[in-house]
Amino acid sequence: MTVILFLVLGLLIGWKLKLAGTPRKIIHQALTLSIWILLFFMGLDIGSDKNVLQQWGRIGGKAAVITFFSLLGSFAAGFIVWKKVMDR
């Protein structure tokens, strides 16, 4: 619930301020950096978990397939939304 609350709060503030230009570019860069840092720490956490490493042979293939189709679905949904928005 907290995640959704923060997302909606940011959405409302962004909508109210209607940021453009440099502030928006800085926010985009900070967001991109934050995602890279989050991915690094997730990898660090997974890599330090002995249970995950012991089960890697069993779950590795399944995890790769799930990851692939998750990415494929995300790209497809993003493309569809992009086309809908750009056709307006």
Q: What digits encode the pLDDT tens for the residues 33-45? A: 999 999 999 989 9
Structural domains of the chain, count: 2
Tell me the percentage of the chain whose pLDDT exceeds 70. 99
Report the C-alpha gap between 35 and 80 in whole angstroms: 23
Better-predicted residue by pLDDT, 20 or 11: 11
Q: What is the pLDDT of residues 46-73, one digit of tens each?
A: 889 888 778 878 887 888 899 899 999 9
**Whether residue 60 sits in one domain with residue 39:** no
**Whether residue 80 sits in one domain with residue 62:** yes
Q: Is residue 8 part of a domain?
A: no
Q: Is residue 32 part of a domain?
A: yes
Q: Is residue 3 part of a domain?
A: no
> Domain range holding 27?
22-49
- Calculate the CA dihedral of residues 60, 57, 54, 38 and round it to 10 degrees: -20
**Whether residue 42 sits in one domain with residue 62:** no
Q: What's the mean per-residue pLDDT of the chain?
A: 87
Cβ-Cβ contacts under 8 Å for 46 (sequence gap 6 or more): 52
Q: Is residue 81 part of a domain?
A: yes
Helix, strand counts (H, E) of the chain:
4, 0
Look up residue 24 and give its two tokens: 């928006």
Look up residue 69 and give its two tokens: 């189709």
**Whether residue 88 sits in one domain with residue 60:** yes
Tell me the percentage of the chain whose pLDDT exceeds 90. 39
